[in-house]
A and B are shown apart, each in its own frame.
Chain A
Amino acid sequence: MLTAFAYWIRATPLGWAAAGGVVWLGPACLTLHFIGLVLLVGCVFAFDLRLLGVAKGLPVAPLGSLMPWAVLGFLINLTTGLTLLAGNPFQYIDNPAFWLKMLFVVLAGVNVIIYYSTGLARRAAAVASGQDAPFSAKTFAAMSLFLWIGVIYWGRMLLFIGNFF
């Protein structure tokens, strides 16, 4: 099924364009993938570091207003990532680093879902300037930092593990 998907996406106009049909598309997507990364992890790390006690003068709730920019970064990376995948699907789906990267992205998402669904987000949002965040919020922040750095690690290892050109 995965193989069928890979053949299908490669055969789409997007796959054709990303495979070199549009010469600059691959390099442009890679560049945008880094810009998306910076937006995503920049806003997320600022939030995580605050919860962990760096820049404690920042009240937590307004810092959360940066999150739409993190979401924008994520959407940029979803789009550019999918485009890169469409151009050379087997280079990714046959590479364990790709699946580990996806696993870490999913775990980072699960971490956020836990944060919101357990009421942790509400408790953290009440943390005012100068106050310490609850231990559970610090655990969430540490997990978030670990998982996103893991995503970066496996993304980089794509080049060195498996059959990447």
Chain B
Amino acid sequence: MELLAALENSAFGAWVRESPSPWAYPGVLFLHTVGLSFLVGLSVAIDLRLLGAARRLPVPPLARFYPVMWMGFGLNALSGVALFAANATTRATNPAFYFKMGFVTLAMIALLMIRRSVVRQSTLGAGLGTLSDRVLAVASLVCWTGVITSGRLMAYFGQG
């Protein structure tokens, strides 16, 4: 708890929270949403393909979207740390925050599994994914929904 208070009261935490600069809290929150769009957006597009949307679309070239998704993840890890630092004590006591982190971990595991076993090794030129592809895709969609929902709920539990 002292560590969290120190983080919150650090020059960086205070800057993110209190600076009138548009690059402080508003800018960081904007970047967090941009990262979400690229990471979760492309992941969801791949999930939809595995579940049978755009069936004529070959699966292997989708692998090239992963570097973009890593950038989205990196952006959100950094902006997430900044948002956490700004209100460390309240976020660390917010149950929704832990749900969000749990769902992020599961969603990233699903993302990696889809990349390894589905996108990279797939010979799927067209058609529906195998049953295990589809199970992974559904798990990914469920986890991202959990991330977004618990992220939103953070605003209603504790002080944000």
- Which A residues lie at the B interface, using CB under 8 A? 27, 30-31, 34-35, 37-39, 41-43, 45-46, 49, 54-59, 61-66, 68-69, 129, 148-149, 152-153, 155-157, 159-160
Contacts and interface: CB of A to CB of B under 8 A. Distances in A.
A39 B65 contact: no
Secondary structure of the B side of the interface? helix
Nearest to B61: A57
24 contacts: A37-B37, A38-B37, A38-B41, A42-B37, A42-B45, A43-B45, A45-B42, A46-B42, A49-B42, A49-B65, A54-B68, A55-B62, A57-B58, A57-B60, A58-B57, A59-B58, A61-B56, A65-B57, A66-B57, A156-B26, A157-B26, A157-B30, A159-B26, A160-B22
Contact of B152 (A31, A41, A68, A157): A31
B29 A45 contact: no
A104 to B, nearest CB: 13
B53 A66 contact: yes
B115 interface: no
A27 B156 contact: yes
B33 A152 contact: yes
Interface residues of B, number: 40
Contacts, number: 118
A69 B61 contact: no
Given A31-B149, A66-B57, 18 more contacts: A27-B153, A38-B44, A39-B44, A45-B42, A55-B62, A55-B65, A56-B61, A57-B60, A57-B61, A65-B53, A65-B56, A66-B54, A68-B53, A149-B34, A149-B37, A155-B33, A157-B26, A160-B22
Contact of A31 (B54, B58, B148): B148
B54 A62 contact: yes
A152 B38 contact: no
Contacts of B153: 27, 31
A156 to B, nearest CB: 4
Given A38-B148, A42-B40, A42-B42, A152 B65 contact: no
A5 B130 CA distance: 51
B49 interface: yes
B156 to A, nearest CB: 6
Nearest to B56: A62
Contacts of B30: 152-153, 156-157
Most chain B beta carbons < 10 A, residue from A30, A46, A54, A159: A46
